[in-house]
Amino acid sequence: MTGPPANPEALLSDLLGLAPEARVDRIRAAGAIDDIMLAVGEVVAQLASIDLDRARVANTMYDDLATALGSTAAQARSRWSRARMCANEGRFTDALDLAREATTLAERHGHDIEAARARVASMQPLGELGRLDEALDAGRVASDRLLALGERRLGGLAAINLGIVSNRADRPEEALEHFDRAEAALRDHPEWIGNLWINRGEVLVVLGRYREAETAYRTALDHLDARGESWLGALAEGNLAELAMRQGRLHEALYHFERARRRFEAQSAPAPLARLLAEQAEAKAMLGLSAEALRDNAAALPQLDANGQVQDAGRARLERARLLLHLRRPDEIGTLLDDAAAAFTTLGHSTSLARVRLLEAERRLLADDGAGAMAIITEAQRTLIARPVEQAYAALLAGRASLAQGDLDGAIVATTAGLEAARELGLATFIADLLAARADAHRRRGDVSAARTDLGEAIAHVERIRGTLQADRFRSAYLGHHLPIYETLVALLLDRATHDAIAEAFAVAEQARSRSLLDLVRRAIDYALDAAPADERERELHDEMRALRGEINALYSELDDRPEDGTRRPRAGWSVAVADRERRLQAIESRISATRGVAGLYAPPVTHARACDLARDGTAILAYFSAGDELLAFVLRDGGSRVYRRLASLPEVRDCVARLHFQITRALRPGAMPAWKAARLLDDQRAELERAEALLLRPLRADLSDVRRLIVIPHGPLHLVPMPALHDGQGYLVESHEVCSAPSVSLLAHLQELDEGDEATAHRVVAGVADDAAPEIADEVRTIGRRLDADTILLNDDATVDAVVGAAASAGIVHLACHGRFDPNLPLDSGIRLADRWLTVRDLYAMRWTASLVTLSGCETGRGTVHGGDELVGMQRGFFAAGVRSLLVSLWRVDDASTRTLMDRFYDTWLGADGRPRMDKATALRRAQLDLLSEHRHPAAWAPFILVGRS
């Protein structure tokens, strides 16, 4: 054989399968050693952009073979090929050393083409290390030499690298010129088209030409996937993610980030993976997951520094500073801004320096220095004149700075200009923020109508984005992040005090309340974590998820024998271990959810008219809502509505709830109820209950005197208030009214529409696990089982999770008497302890139940942590998401004996001798509580249980 081989790919494959000596013999026997080795080396070099694992093996073999054969041309090619591979791995210093070694070797032996290509290979590490001028010089020398040698294709490759570095050097227009030259030179070489279009897309993003950029990225991704070029395909996918993030298409951003991450993990590519994770942290910040974004940023930043990725590390520092500002921690960002500015100064990147200045302006705004902020913004805008995205952001800050100085006209001008740019670019998240800022200016200028219009449009943008997000946690966080927009509009509408304004304000309040739970219950979003894995990496994530769930369950099982008086404490480090596994589990759940679709956009909240229809026949709905610092209440009854404003401030409410529960805790301490002390404890408790009644109910009393049933829709801290126990100085609320609750009026309306079936003939399940701390559970299970004539009774060892769930999933009435667990910091781990393990909120999310009533006869089974958008996360949420119609649950630690008594009387009152309900559940619970009240005067004993949902 003479000349290059006809099929160098096949020859490379053959060589990899031979012993080292046989490889040498194979090449020598073919003749034309340099031609053959250079052809094989071309294939090896291309592997660095296709499959890093294969590239590592092939490069090692090729380098050894080139040395053994004494081919200096092949040795030079081996070194610059390894330089490309090292650069793609993130080993930029090693890559630069290899490229320079290749250049020296090639020049010494007169291999001009190899010397030029080695210079091209040095450009990526030089660029990543921030040595942009050196990278451009190397590229120009290489390009000139290759064109002089008639190597048009190789000159095109040099032009791609010149374009990449020019873009990094903040010269996007110059970069496009290089890419145009590269495209002309590489028209007949499809193996390089994907690389070219990825980098062209990056420049188009910088110039704000988003539609063209998306076309470039998708063209590249389709081309690269068709060719099996996984590593470059991961870059294209990551770029699509960042573009979607910039435009506020967060569901697409999360999807592409996760797919790119899996590709990079499969390739063991730490440098692009670190960059990707830093960008993904920005997307999480936009979702409102600030704490999680900070953790991801903290994990990525040291890796970027270690890799020498100067520009990416600077950007990550900027994002960290932005997060800390939004968390109201301005004192922590000074060093971050200084370090980022130093990096961008070294790079000569004026646009990034202007971004640093804009963050400094945000810090000034947080310190109420509107004038100082405006001076910085004006200076930055001059630099950003050709950067439309940054101009929109600067316009938002300018609007806020104008507001801070009382320049309302200036604020409207600035935000209107920003809106024009944001709408042109499709920047949905910016649009909502700009509209909210302009609404504030309109409101302060007295143009309330214009303010309401802007706020309504802003909410529409938020709703569109929220409705596309893949997981209820994402939806909850995003709504919580934008909650002030809803609250402000509610307050403005109620200032009008007309019927139409009240109806609209109620609708907006329902939009901002427990929406993700409503989506889960109405199947507008899937809980897809137990679905079949989509690929091998997802199978690994599922395995990790199951292992972490098992570890969390094992950790909580360490507490199974802890006395109820709390004298036995968890071992040292227990809380840290649980929190660590919970964070890791949450991260995996987010990753799996990111690549799943949604069942629909969102479940629409209830209309005002439908809500009023629910409040008839002696029923009133009390829907509380917090608008800013103001607690207000919508009272719906007799088909109409009324609003009570300024009931209390949120600090007052939080203090009231804390004091109320402090007294409950006092009464629950072991030995706290001796006769000599009981009266004092009761007086102290009533004082706090009267205080709560004065804040929450007394202003509403005129509308409630002639109604029989109150359906309370709590908000914020009110989820912890035992409403039936509120005291007006004459008696408890339960003595005059039936009281039940629901997370939202929208959920209540949905539950009322469901078919409850025939409760008399429905399958009935009673289960429980007794122990030394709660021995009465055994008798409770037997007694309730007989009273219900239960079809299935599971006690102690028989009450395993599988047995209980298998029996209860299709049951109509379920009574579970078990220990409950609630951790306000880890509410998804809340659960009830069955014979073999804990049944948790996460477990329930993946289940489908049809019960009209589930009773959770245990401690704190009704408590939850309030997340953004008034999403109560705890056992209530899990059971409603599973499909249960109503719940009987507890708000605090319950006494074994009094709980058994309450449950006996509830079922005796509710069900007739024939097993059929003879009254509503709310009526039966009130009578049972009144019976217990007559015997146990302290509310800690008779008031822990509340009826939630369909009553």
Give the CATH number, domain containing residue 223: 1.25.40.10
Q: What is the predicted pLDDT for the residue at 527?
A: 58
Flag whether 945 is in a domain. yes
pLDDT at 652 over 50: yes
Flag whether 721 is in a domain. no
Taking the C-alpha atoms of residue 747 and residue 61, their distance in angstroms, rounded to an integer, is: 65
Flag whether 17 is in a domain. no
Reported as type and span, the H/E element at residue 838 is strand 838-840
Reported as type and span, the H/E element at residue 335 is helix 334-347
DSSP-derived secondary structure for 715-751: -GGGGG--GGG-B-SS-BGGGT-EEEE-S-HHHHHHH
Tokens 């520092």 appear where?
A: 317
Taking the C-alpha atoms of residue 62 and residue 41, their distance in angstroms, rounded to an integer, is: 7
Taking the C-alpha atoms of residue 749 and residue 950, their distance in angstroms, rounded to an integer, is: 9
Flag whether 759 is in a domain. yes
Q: What is the predicted pLDDT for the residue at 519?
A: 87
Percent of the chain with pLDDT over 90: 69
CB 775 within 8 A of CB 564: no
Taking the C-alpha atoms of residue 927 and residue 905, their distance in angstroms, rounded to an integer, is: 8
User: How crowded is residue 319: how many other Cβ atoms within 10 Å of its Cβ?
Assistant: 24
* Whole-Å CA distances, 159 to 139, 166, 176, 774: 8, 10, 10, 77
In the three-class reduction of DSSP (H, G, I as helix; E, B as strand; rest coil), residue 765 is classed as strand
Which residue, of 220, 239, 263, is where some domain finishes?
263
* Whole-Å CA distances, 635 to 416, 608, 621: 38, 12, 6
Digit-coded pLDDT (tens) for 706-739: 999 999 999 999 999 999 999 999 999 999 999 9
Tokens read off for 499: 């019927």
Beta bridge partners of 867: 871
Q: In the chain, how many domains are there?
A: 2
pLDDT band per the 50, 70, 90 thresholds, residue 826: confident
Tokens read off for 460: 């529409």
Reported as type and span, the H/E element at residue 644 is strand 640-649
Tokens read off for 154: 């190789």
Flag whether 761 is in a domain. yes
Flag whether 123 is in a domain. no
CB 384 within 8 A of CB 394: yes
Tokens read off for 98: 């290899």
Strands (E), 571-615: none
User: How crowded is residue 345: how many other Cβ atoms within 10 Å of its Cβ?
Assistant: 14
Digit-coded pLDDT (tens) for 864-913: 999 989 999 999 999 999 999 999 999 999 988 889 999 999 999 999 88
Flag whether 142 is in a domain. no
Output the furthest CA–CA distance in the chain (Å, rounded).
109
pLDDT at 1 over 60: no
Which residue, of 206, 229, 263, is where some domain finishes?
263
* This prediction's pTM: 0.86
pLDDT band per the 50, 70, 90 thresholds, residue 568: very low
Give the CATH number, domain containing residue 908: 3.40.50.1460
Dihedral, CA atoms, 803, 807, 813, 818, nearest 10 degrees?
Answer: 0
Tokens 């093996």 appear where?
A: 57
- 162-175 mean pLDDT: 94
Q: What is the predicted pLDDT for the residue at 428?
A: 83
Which residue, of 263, 298, 326, is where some domain finishes?
263
| Residue range of the domain that includes 236 | 189-263
By DSSP bridging, strand 630-637 and strand 619-627 are: antiparallel
Q: What is the predicted pLDDT for the residue at 385?
A: 87
DSSP-derived secondary structure for 506-537: HHHHHHTSSHHHHHHHTTSS---TTSPPSSHH
pLDDT at 567 over 50: no
Q: Among 69, 53, 52, 51, which residue's Cα sits nearest to residue 15? A: 69
Helix axes 52-69, 72-89, angle to 10 degrees: 160
Q: What is the predicted pLDDT for the residue at 48?
A: 84
Flag whether 804 is in a domain. yes
